[in-house]
């Protein structure tokens, strides 16, 4: 059995040293290129003499130069373009920089800047990365997958671009999401970039302005629906199982209708998960577990009100219910602690509209109201969770209501990017007099109030999905289950220290993300072995075995 190769260039391992390219071909291979760090002997041996400036630089010197170049850029989007170019020419240096400066660079590689990049992906396009599989490829999707140069993809992040963050339908320009997610897999969990494959399924777009744009990269036609769409995705999944049989598939930023349908259809048949449903739910559940330590009110005594009843919100609700059931609460009682406000108002029985299954499970007996403020006044939730992606919605009135009802109101403004956040950290802390337990989807700066500094937590899925993927791949899990995500949530919550809580954080520091991901990976693999889903024999020391498979962004001697 071939494992994920530890601490080495997997591209070199897979090809064999005798197949190592030389000259310009080597410099054009981002997995192998060391640029000015090639030694004098390597330059002679690999026909690089004259193709590089004569001075040899260390990896540390290269990283310092790259960081200085990054910081000289005048906007976040320019920084994104710079980092993308670096990734496309020297992946080892890119990941060294990202891992060493994760808190500074992650908002550029992923939220919120990746949203801006996707909106203008056609305008800033320089070089293709990943695979676009379009409706024109029907009947030969497996052939398209075989065009990918790395023959052993293990982790595939795929989107159809219909619901990119809170920005809506961006079609083929949603490719920035899989590219960014996989960069975080490698940086935060150490999955070698050789094994990572970003995919965008181009099924058209209903964004008329994109279809009319001369810079749009995808098919300028309306989005496929129904049987045509389902058959195309089915062909893609079948092709993945044929071409990359060891791959885990992560569904990302699909519209609500397809997100739930695809997860339901494939969850028990394929090694896959939906990060927007399951990853978000696990991260938020971890935040609620930490918040319970701050408020002194255990999870079973929390009442949640969600603004937004889509895949993120109802996914969180389902995991909250599962967590309470593990604590001995009946399912009916657990569901009564979850309330939702959608575009038509409070989600209650007899409202007069037909509810999809994911909403119907949370319809409550209650008075129908149409606004969030009315719902807060009626329910008096201990936690207000924003996942609607429509921008400022937690008004001063609503925040004052939360503060009046509870000593430590939980305010999670989770919508991305920053422009879609329900409120800012400053608003939450200021209106509640510093009593809010706050977390957000996009990063906010610390807030100084009355001489005390409050550090808002970022409920970012990066805390969970890289570790889940690493754990599933390390034990070769047949499927990825909700129980694995619940294990991940509890493991993440356990990493929050008393010092974190004292500053207001309900999530640990990102600079420890690799250690966190390893713990989550171990918990996920343990659950896979417990449930009989692991296809690889269990090693004597599971944590050490997983650690040995982790990629380190270090140059090899050629």
At a CB cut-off of 8 Å and minimum separation 6, what does 144 contact?
A: 131, 133, 137, 239
| Domain finish residue from 416, 438, 462 | 462
411 and 448 in one domain? Answer: yes
What is the DSSP pairing of strand 452-454 with strand 131-134?
Answer: unpaired
**Structure tokens that stand for 463 in this block:** 């805390």
**Structure tokens that stand for 364 in this block:** 């409550």
Asked if the structure places residue 493 within a domain, the reply is yes
**Residue 110 bears catalytic tag:** yes
301 and 248 in one domain? Answer: no
Q: Is the pLDDT assigned to residue 6 strictly greater than 50? A: no
Percent of the residues in the chain that have a pLDDT greater than 90, as a whole number: 90
422 and 349 in one domain? Answer: yes
Instruction: Encode burial over 109-124: b for 16+ CB neighbours within 10 A, e otherwise.
Output: bbbbbbbbbbbebbeb
User: What is the DSSP track for 341-371?
Assistant: EETTEE-BTT-SSPPPHHHHTT-BSS---SS
156 and 213 in one domain? Answer: yes
Handedness of CA 374, 376, 377, 378 (dihedral sign): positive
Q: How far apart are CA 235 and CA 318, in angstroms?
A: 30
Asked if the structure places residue 26 within a domain, the reply is no
Q: What is the pLDDT of residues 104-155, one digit of tens each?
A: 999 999 989 999 999 999 999 999 999 999 999 999 999 999 999 998 999 9
523 and 416 in one domain? Answer: no
Residue 351 has a pLDDT of 81
Phi, psi of 13 (to 5 degrees): -60, -45
Q: How far apart are CA 55 and CA 40, in angstroms?
A: 9
337 and 205 in one domain? Answer: no
Q: What is the pLDDT of residues 462-502, one digit of tens each?
A: 999 999 999 999 999 999 999 999 999 999 999 999 999 99
244 and 155 in one domain? Answer: yes
Q: What is the pLDDT of residues 171-181, one digit of tens each?
A: 999 999 999 99
Residue 204 has a pLDDT of 98
Q: Is the pLDDT assigned to residue 16 strictly greater than 80? A: no
Q: Is the pLDDT assigned to residue 2 strictly greater than 50? A: no
Q: How far apart are CA 172 and CA 132, in angstroms?
A: 8
Tell me the angle at which helices 482-494 and 513-530 cross, rounded to the nearest 10 degrees. Answer: 140
Q: How confident is the model at residue 4 (pLDDT cuts 50, 70, 90)?
A: low
Instruction: From the candidates 110, 195, 266, 558, give the one annotated as an active-site residue.
Output: 110
Q: Is the pLDDT assigned to residue 8 strictly greater than 70? A: no
Q: How confident is the model at residue 10 (pLDDT cuts 50, 70, 90)?
A: very low
Q: How far apart are CA 59 and CA 387, in angstroms?
A: 41
What total number of domains does the chain contain?
3
Mean pLDDT rounded to a whole number for the chain = 94
Asked if the structure places residue 132 within a domain, the reply is yes
DSSP assigned state of 197: E
| Domain finish residue from 441, 462, 483 | 462
What is the DSSP pairing of strand 345-346 with strand 383-386?
Answer: unpaired
Q: Is the pLDDT assigned to residue 239 strictly greater than 50? A: yes
Residue 148 has a pLDDT of 97
Q: How far apart are CA 17 and CA 452, in angstroms?
A: 57
Q: If we measure between CA atoms, which residue out of 386, 319, 325, 330 comes closest to residue 358?
A: 319
Question: How many CB atoms neighbour CB 532 within 10 A?
Answer: 8
Could you list the residue range(s) of the whole structural domain that residue 491 is in?
464-548
CATH of the domain at 303: 3.40.50.720
Rounded mean pLDDT, 198-225: 97
Phi, psi of 359 (to 5 degrees): -90, -40
**Structure tokens that stand for 126 in this block:** 């320089």
Residue 7 has a pLDDT of 39
Q: What is the pLDDT of residues 305-359, one digit of tens each?
A: 999 999 899 999 999 999 999 999 999 999 999 999 999 999 998 887 778 888 9
Cis peptide before 368 (omega within 30 of 0): no
Percent of the residues in the chain that have a pLDDT greater than 70, as a whole number: 97
Phi, psi of 255 (to 5 degrees): -65, 155
Tell me the angle at which helices 91-100 and 102-109 cross, rounded to the nearest 10 degrees. Answer: 120
Beta strands per DSSP E along 293-409: 304-307, 338-342, 345-346, 383-386
Asked if the structure places residue 500 within a domain, the reply is yes
Asked if the structure places residue 177 within a domain, the reply is yes
Q: What is the pLDDT of residues 25-68, one digit of tens each?
A: 999 999 999 999 999 999 999 999 999 999 999 999 999 999 99
Q: Is the pLDDT assigned to residue 197 strictly greater than 50? A: yes
Residue 3 has a pLDDT of 53
Instruction: From the candidates 80, 121, 181, 216, give the one annotated as an active-site residue.
Output: 181
490 and 447 in one domain? Answer: no
414 and 528 in one domain? Answer: no
User: What is the DSSP track for 115-159?
Assistant: HHHHHTHHHH--S--SEEEEGGGTT-HHHHHTTSS-S---EEEEE
CATH of the domain at 527: 3.40.50.10380
**Residue 359 bears catalytic tag:** no
Collapsed DSSP state (helix, strand, coil) of residue 250: strand
Q: How confident is the model at residue 236 (pLDDT cuts 50, 70, 90)?
A: very high
**Three-state secondary structure of 40-82:** HHHHHHCCCCCCCCCCCCCHHHHHHHHHHHHHCCCCHHHHHHH
| Domain finish residue from 462, 487, 515 | 462
282 and 250 in one domain? Answer: no
106 and 245 in one domain? Answer: yes
| Choice among 10-14, 265-269, 466-470, 529-533 with the minimum mean pLDDT | 10-14
486 and 433 in one domain? Answer: no
Asked if the structure places residue 82 within a domain, the reply is yes
Q: How far apart are CA 377 and CA 402, in angstroms?
A: 9
Residue 353 has a pLDDT of 76
Collapsed DSSP state (helix, strand, coil) of residue 533: coil
Asked if the structure places residue 41 within a domain, the reply is no
CA torsion 375-376-378-383 (nearest 10°) is 120
Asked if the structure places residue 390 within a domain, the reply is yes
Q: What is the pLDDT of residues 377-423, one digit of tens each?
A: 999 999 999 999 898 999 999 999 999 999 999 999 999 888 899 99
Q: If we measure between CA atoms, which residue out of 459, 405, 406, 409 comes closest to residue 429?
A: 409
Q: How confident is the model at residue 518 (pLDDT cuts 50, 70, 90)?
A: very high
């Amino acid at each position: 059995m071939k494992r994920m190769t530890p601490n080495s260039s997997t591209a070199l391992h897979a090809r064999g040293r005798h197949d190592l390219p030389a000259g310009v071909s080597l410099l054009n291979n981002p997995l192998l290129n060391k640029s000015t760090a090639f030694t004098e002997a390597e330059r002679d041996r690999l026909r690089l003499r004259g193709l590089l400036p004569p001075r040899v630089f260390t990896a540390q010197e290269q990283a310092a130069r790259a960081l200085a170049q990054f910081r000289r850029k005048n906007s976040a989007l320019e920084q994104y373009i710079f980092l993308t170019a670096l990734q496309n020419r020297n992946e080892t240096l890119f990941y060294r920089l990202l891992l060493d400066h994760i808190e500074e660079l992650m908002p550029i590689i992923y939220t919120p800047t990746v949203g801006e990049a996707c909106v203008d992906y056609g305008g800033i396009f320089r070089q293709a990365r990943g695979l676009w599989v379009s409706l024109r490829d029907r009947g030969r999707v497996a052939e398209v997958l075989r065009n990918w140069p790395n023959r052993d993809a293990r982790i595939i992040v795929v989107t159809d671009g219909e619901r990119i963050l809170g920005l809506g339908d961006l079609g083929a320009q949603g490719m920035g999401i899989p590219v960014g997610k996989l960069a975080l897999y490698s940086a935060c969990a150490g999955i070698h970039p050789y094994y990572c494959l970003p995919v965008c399924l181009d099924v058209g777009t209903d964004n008329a302005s994109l279809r009319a744009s001369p810079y749009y990269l995808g098919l300028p036609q309306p989005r496929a629906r129904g049987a045509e769409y389902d058959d195309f995705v089915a062909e893609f999944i079948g092709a993945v199982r044929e071409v990359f049989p060891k791959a885990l598939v992560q569904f990302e930023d699909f519209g609500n209708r397809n997100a739930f349908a695809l997860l339901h259809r494939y969850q028990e048949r394929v090694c896959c998960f939906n990060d927007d449903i399951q990853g978000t739910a696990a991260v938020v559940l971890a935040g609620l577990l930490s918040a319970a330590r701050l408020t002194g009110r255990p999870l079973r005594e929390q009442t949640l009100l969600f603004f937004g009843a889509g895949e993120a919100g109802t996914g969180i609700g389902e995991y909250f219910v599962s967590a309470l059931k593990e604590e001995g609460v009946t399912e009916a009682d657990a569901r009564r602690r979850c309330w939702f406000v959608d575009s038509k108002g409070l989600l209650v029985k007899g409202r007069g509209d037909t509810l999809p299954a994911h909403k119907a499970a949370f319809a409550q007996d209650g008075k129908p109201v149409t606004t969030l403020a009315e719902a807060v006044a009626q329910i008096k939730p201990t936690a207000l969770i924003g996942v609607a992606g429509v921008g400022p919605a937690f008004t001063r009135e609503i925040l004052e209501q939360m503060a009046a009802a509870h000593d430590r109101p939980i305010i999670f403004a989770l919508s991305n990017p920053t422009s879609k956040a329900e409120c800012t950290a400053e608003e939450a802390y200021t209106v509640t007099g510093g009593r809010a337990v706050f977390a957000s989807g996009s990063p906010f700066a610390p807030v100084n109030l009355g001489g005390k500094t409050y550090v808002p937590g970022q409920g970012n899925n990066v805390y969970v999905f890289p570790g889940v993927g690493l754990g599933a791949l390390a034990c070769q899990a047949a499927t990825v289950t909700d129980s694995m995500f619940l294990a991940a949530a509890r493991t993440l919550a356990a990493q929050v220290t008393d010092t974190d809580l004292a500053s207001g954080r309900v999530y640990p520091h990102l600079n420890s993300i690799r250690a966190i991901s390893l713990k989550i990976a171990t918990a996920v693999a343990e659950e896979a072995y417990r449930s009989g889903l692991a296809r690889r024999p269990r090693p004597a020391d599971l944590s050490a075995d997983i650690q040995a498979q982790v990629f380190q962004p270090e140059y090899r001697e050629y």
